[in-house]
């Protein structure tokens, strides 16, 4: 990690708090005036009472706002803000935050299979200093891939030790269930992380995710209608289970399968998606 900047961070926090006191409406997360209620699980669901991540805050800014959604469980929003502050304190530049969930969750058809419960968030793996960009430029931002075009490794021009710092910080967030990244990124962590490796089991390989990490949080307390998936295995995962992903690169492409209709949402989501807490 690079050296902390506690003094600078303290000044930043003071300025930000001052903005809150001076009634800057975009500075704090806005929550829908209804009880928080998550219904569903990995197969689909929805959320009432979600909060919206402000467009910017200490250590982060949102990108692609015209085609993205930034609503989530208040704990998810707070965790993302914590990640940004901790990353900044560790010497990283401002983070780019992207999709969380729609205002009431539910499908993000054609974009994400998950992100339905307000418990998922995409954070870009861009640890370069960020220039000041116009809203239009932020809206059209493309972040470079960390993975080589053949999918077999990380690009040495793009990879940096700060990526390890950011991924490690993500695994330490309250309520964090797992972090999804491309198998080549997981493989790189397996190679370079020294000392404490106990957090590696929370970094899970998945398709895509070459330029961003997908954070998934567990069902928060007090949400009996929210269903978790089984926790990730408590092993590093730097083994044959990771090799499997690279063997798939050599396999002939599977014949296209007919599109499957999405699974129906839980019945209680009908009312929630229509605009009420459904209770």
- Could you list the residues that contact Zn ion (CB under 5 A)? 122, 214
Distance CA 225, CA 240 (A): 36
- How is residue 161 written in tokens? 């030790």
- Smallest distance from Zn ion to CB 178, Å: 12
Residue (of 37, 68, 48) closest to 275 by Cα position: 48
- Smallest distance from Zn ion to CB 69, Å: 11
- Smallest distance from Zn ion to CB 31, Å: 22
Q: Which residue is nearest to Zn ion (CB)?
A: 214
Q: How many CB atoms lie within 10 A of CB 132?
A: 6
Rounded to 10 deg, the angle between the 6-21 and 74-89 helix axes is 140
Closer to Zn ion at the Cβ: 73 or 214? 214
173 secondary structure, DSSP code: S
Closer to Zn ion at the Cβ: 52 or 122? 122
- How is residue 156 written in tokens? 């040495």
Closer to Zn ion at the Cβ: 87 or 123? 123
86 secondary structure, DSSP code: H
- Smallest distance from Zn ion to CB 52, Å: 17
- Smallest distance from Zn ion to CB 115, Å: 6
Closer to Zn ion at the Cβ: 122 or 126? 122
Run of H or E including 205: strand 203-205
Closer to Zn ion at the Cβ: 119 or 268? 119
Residue (of 185, 189, 216, 212) closest to 200 by Cα position: 189
Closer to Zn ion at the Cβ: 168 or 214? 214
Residue ranges of alpha helices (H) inside the chain are: 6-21, 74-89, 135-139, 161-171, 183-192, 240-250, 268-273
Closer to Zn ion at the Cβ: 122 or 236? 122
- Smallest distance from Zn ion to CB 3, Å: 31
Distance CA 67, CA 246 (A): 32
Distance CA 254, CA 135 (A): 41
- Smallest distance from Zn ion to CB 214, Å: 4
């Amino acid at each position: 990690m690079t050296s902390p900047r506690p003094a600078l961070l303290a000044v930043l926090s003071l300025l930000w708090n001052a903005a809150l006191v001076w009634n800057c409406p975009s500075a704090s997360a806005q929550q829908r005036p209804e009880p928080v209620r998550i219904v569903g699980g990995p197969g689909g669901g929805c959320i009432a009472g979600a909060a919206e991540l402000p467009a910017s805050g200490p250590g982060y800014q949102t990108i692609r706002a015209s085609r993205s959604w930034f609503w989530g469980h208040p704990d998810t929003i707070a965790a993302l803000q914590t990640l940004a502050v901790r990353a900044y304190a560790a010497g990283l530049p401002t983070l780019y935050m992207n999709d969380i969930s729609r205002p009431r969750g539910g499908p993000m058809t054609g974009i994400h299979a998950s992100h339905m419960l307000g418990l998922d968030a995409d954070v870009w793996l861009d640890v370069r200093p960020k220039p000041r960009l116009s809203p239009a430029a932020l809206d059209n931002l493309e972040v470079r891939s960390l993975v080589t075009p053949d999918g077999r490794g990380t690009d040495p021009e793009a990879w940096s030790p700060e990526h390890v710092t950011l991924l490690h910080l993500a695994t330490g967030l309250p309520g964090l269930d797992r972090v999804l990244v491309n198998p080549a990124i997981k493989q790189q962590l397996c190679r370079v992380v020294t000392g404490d490796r106990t957090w590696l089991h929370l970094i899970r390989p998945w398709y895509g995710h070459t330029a961003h990490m997908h954070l998934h949080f567990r069902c928060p307390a007090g949400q009996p209608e929210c269903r978790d998936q089984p926790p990730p295995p408590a092993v590093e995962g730097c083994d044959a289970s990771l090799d499997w992903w690279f063997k798939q690169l050599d396999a002939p492409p599977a014949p296209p399968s007919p599109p499957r209709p999405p699974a129906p949402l839980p019945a209680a989501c009908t009312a929630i998606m229509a605009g009420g807490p459904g209770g």
